[in-house]
Amino acid sequence: MTETGRQAERQRAWVARLCPEGEVGLDRAAGPRALVEEAVARIGAGPVRWAIELNSVVVRRIVDEVPALGGGTAAVEMLRQGNEATTLRALFTLLEGPATAPPTGEATLEGIREFVRRGVPLEQVLQGVRIGHAATTEAFLRACAELVDPKAAVAEVTAISRELFSYVDDLSDTMIRTYLAEYDVWSTSAAAARADIVRSLLSDAAPGDVGEASRALGYDLRRTHEAVVVWSDSPNGGSTLQAAAIEVLRARGATTTLVVPVASGRLWAWGTVPANATRGAGPWETVAETSWETVTERLSQQRIQAALGTPGDGVAGFRRSHREAESGESIEQLRREAGRVPRHATAYADVAPVALMANDLEAAGDFVRRELGGLSARSAPMEALRTTLYHYIGAERSLVDVARRLHVARGTVTYRVKRAQEVLGHDLDERRFALHTALALAEELGDAVLLPRDADQ
């Protein structure tokens, strides 16, 4: 270590005493294990765990204020990886001196390249950098004030403010150069041209020359289309997602497909399906050799999820089916937040009523709590009553069907239905449709509709 580094280490002994407020293990790190182990060896486990905890807070703030930098679970995970690496580099800089910090990590640069491919403007990327810098600096200054002797605190706060500003200034310069270099390459690529055409088709603007767009895409826009959105928690595996999307669409009878990656761990796809698919017997009617059960089993094994729209004709159908698929994806995200078991394949036709009401979660929550009354309470007994009553109404009051579906005794079903009716305070035939709808929303979305939107979770 250089003399400058030794002096910085003596002056910054407080950095080595950093530790998280909560229980944060090193296994919660977003970055590669080798980087975490190196950081622990150089600055200690406490500061690294502090950085991991801080990273979660900072990334949440960035995505809340600049949603375009999110884009799905995998994209957020990539953002976590890049931001964690920059936080650890900031710790190296403060504790050992600027010369000892490693160069900007590949995770950070890959995140910048993805923003280019997703069409996120540079100004929004830099806005995210500023938000992250402000939140990180605030955390460092607060820790400094708590850990440094009051007599030296003012000078130390001034020094770390200056050093962090210089660090972020250099980081921003690197990110800008990376963004512009990637943009030059991407903007001239065939993939960028295809993505631009698709985004134009999905907008409400006139489609222009449909024949020309079809030729450019290699996909006939004048036919009947079924859209699918495919996503995974993993920020990698783009080829796996593409293969999954094609398999899903082939199982739905698609003869040609169009696949457009839109973010790390997420892509859009369409398939041209038979014109009579809009009049199929059900949303999962399979017209190909591959059984739908086989497809969903593979999705489950690969931890991939897919949401499909309903078939539609021409550009209007191309657009509508995609919007429905995205609505299905949104429902699955809400179900995930509610702690529900993930469905690896979701048909919009199966969730359309819930999706339509979930467009206004505040109103949907008011409706659920008003219709269910005491039955909307967040407790295990009330949840069991709600689930049983939901299936009981849906099964046309068949005790046998409900008992078989929930794996309980018929007597248990009878008791729960009777108890639920007592809590409701009225007969089940009274406002039956509204009651069943409220139960469906509670079953699918959980706390998203059982709690007021401004309640402490």
Q: Where are the domains of the chain?
A: 3-186, 219-354, 360-450
| Packed helices 432-445 and 380-394: angle between N→C axes, nearest 10 degrees | 130
360-450: CATH topology is: Arc Repressor Mutant, subunit A (1.10.10)
403/111: higher pLDDT: 403
Tell me the mean pLDDT in the region 391-412. Answer: 90
User: Quick one: pLDDT at residue 261?
Assistant: 85
Rounded to the nearest integer, the mean pLDDT of the chain is 84
CATH tag, 219-354: 3.30.70
Least confident of 231-245, 307-321, 351-365: 231-245
Tokens matching residue 64 = 């809340």
Which residues, listed in sequence order, are joined to residue 306 by a DSSP beta bridge?
Answer: 230, 345
Which residues, listed in sequence order, are joined to residue 228 by a DSSP beta bridge?
Answer: 269, 308
Q: What is the pLDDT of residues 97-133, one digit of tens each?
A: 765 655 666 777 788 888 888 888 888 888 898 899 8
Q: Is the pLDDT of residue 318 over 90?
A: yes
Exposed/middle/buried for residue 235 (C-beta within 10 Å: 0-12, 13-18, 19+): buried
Tell me the mean pLDDT in the region 327-351. Answer: 90
Q: Is the pLDDT of residue 188 over 50?
A: yes
217: nearest Cα among 200, 193, 248: 193
Residue 255: DSSP 8-state: S
Q: Do 360-450 and 3-186 fall under one CATH topology?
A: no
Helix (H) or strand (E) holding 80: helix 73-96
Q: What is the pLDDT of residues 267-282, one digit of tens each?
A: 999 999 988 765 443 4
Chain centroid to CA 207: 30
3-186: CATH topology is: Globin-like (1.10.490)
Tokens matching residue 144 = 């400094």
User: Quick one: pLDDT at residue 291?
Assistant: 66
Q: What is the pLDDT of residues 367-383, one digit of tens each?
A: 999 999 999 998 899 99
H helix intervals, 1-121: 3-11, 33-43, 45-65, 73-96, 106-117
Q: Global pTM?
A: 0.62
- Is 372:442 a contact under the CB 8 Å cutoff? yes
Q: From CA 173, how far away is CA 171, in angstroms rounded?
A: 5
Q: From CA 305, how far away is CA 228, in angstroms rounded?
A: 10
User: Quick one: pLDDT at residue 330?
Assistant: 92
Quote the strand ranges of 222-354, DSSP E: 224-232, 257-263, 266-272, 304-308, 312-313, 345-347
Q: Is the pLDDT of residue 284 over 70?
A: no
Quote the strand ranges of 240-344, DSSP E: 257-263, 266-272, 304-308, 312-313
Tokens matching residue 384 = 């069991």
How many CB atoms neighbour CB 332 within 10 A? Answer: 23
Q: Is 15 left (phi over 0), alpha (psi -120 to 50) or beta?
A: alpha
Interacting residues of 450 by C-beta distance below 8 A, sequence separation 6+: 365, 368, 369, 376, 378, 442
417: nearest Cα among 439, 447, 441: 439
User: Quick one: pLDDT at residue 237?
Assistant: 62
280: nearest Cα among 314, 315, 308: 308
Q: Is the pLDDT of residue 23 over 80?
A: yes
Strand, coil or helix: 262: strand
